[in-house]
Amino acid sequence: MRVFVTGASGWIGSAVVPELIGAGHQVTGLARSDASADSLIAAGANVQRGTIDDLDTLRSAASASDGVIHLAFKHELAFTGDFEGAADADRRAIVTFGDALAGSDRPFVIASGTLGLLPGRVATERDWPDAAALPLWPSGPRARLENAQMTVALASRGVRSSVMRLTPTVHGDGDHGFMATIVGIAGDKGVSGYLGDGSNRWPAVHRLDAARLFRLALEKAPAGSVLHAVADQGVPIRAVAEVIGRHLDLPVASISPEDAAAHFTWLASFLATDSPASSALTRELMGWQPTHPGLIDDLDQGHYFQQSSGTELVSPLPVPSAST
């Protein structure tokens, strides 16, 4: 296929692009900078200069493609106070892609998230947040959820749409997301902390396993599918803290709810969420099996402790208590 990919040079996109090319697809990636364009060319992809705000560019690129994978999201805007603005930009891009692909039965895959989907229970691909709770959500995360629902609904307009829910940590060598940030906080504070008893669980997936599932979704996901890119169903946060403490030679300690915001800053509400998720239905439907290291094994490989923490986030669906 000729595939148009937004966010093609990002953390996940830079794994999706070679996965697609390796399977024989021709990729055109959206690039907003010279550095992004250069990385796409080096990977063997074509380049379309622009941003997700350039709706005419998106429309033209989608119309000329056999399928679209939409990974771009304005994380820097979302996590500096304007999540609603980032979600609105995402919605406009999705509407544009949907209009361009309507009636064609061509594939359209977007990224969403599992975090906060069904707190305290194992979320499946069939689950959506409790409608009664949605009015309590901040407007930005609620809008991002509505974008996912809108994408699923594109199936009724002749688009082979699918929503890929990603885990809060899509880990691997070079990650600057949640795990790297948690490692950085531990180093700064001199203690590897966890909230309460540390039993809160996060699902996880290796970046390369997620990339393969994006390719499979493009190739064969049924219209209106919701897929879970989940390898580890639920890793206790205390287990993460213990690995970090061992590698950094730091004490491992519980952080009280009262001290959580001071210790973990903006990450506190995310870490407080018990949000396990299953991918059993996805594995059966897509024939997908993760083959790369799980989160704890990946942390034990040591690469997270050889890099500085960053702020590029990959969790597309923050929990309701998170700041917008």
HSE, CB side, 13 Å, CA atoms: give it for residue 146. 17
Q: Are 43 and 14 in contact (CB under 8 A)?
A: yes
Q: Which residues contact 16 (CB under 8 A, 6 or more apart)?
A: 5, 8, 69, 71, 211, 214, 215
Nearest-angstrom CA–CA distance, 193 and 116: 21
pLDDT of residue 78: 77
pLDDT of residue 141: 77
Q: Are 19 and 211 in contact (CB under 8 A)?
A: yes
Q: Which residues of the chain have pLDDT under 50?
A: 308-324
**Cα–Cα separations (whole angstroms), residue 94 to 73, 100, 161:** 11, 10, 11
pLDDT of residue 321: 35
Which has the closest alpha carbon to 45: 7, 75, 74?
7
pLDDT of residue 131: 64
Q: List Cβ<8 Å contacts ≥24 apart for 124-127.
A: 124/228, 124/277, 124/278, 124/280, 124/281, 125/165, 125/225, 125/226, 125/227, 125/228, 125/278, 125/279, 125/281, 125/282, 126/226, 126/281
pLDDT of residue 162: 98
Give pLDDT tens digits for 184-233: 999 999 999 999 999 999 999 999 999 999 999 999 999 999 999 999 99
Q: Are 185 and 264 in contact (CB under 8 A)?
A: yes
pLDDT of residue 132: 66
**Cα–Cα separations (whole angstroms), residue 74 to 232, 259, 317:** 27, 30, 13
In degrees and rounded to multiples of 5, residue 259 shows phi and psi of -100, 0
Nearest-angstrom CA–CA distance, 108 and 148: 12
Residue 195's beta-bridge partner residues?
255
pLDDT of residue 317: 42
pLDDT of residue 312: 37
pLDDT of residue 310: 39
What is the end-to-end Cα distance of the chain in Å, rounded?
A: 37
Nearest-angstrom CA–CA distance, 141 and 92: 16
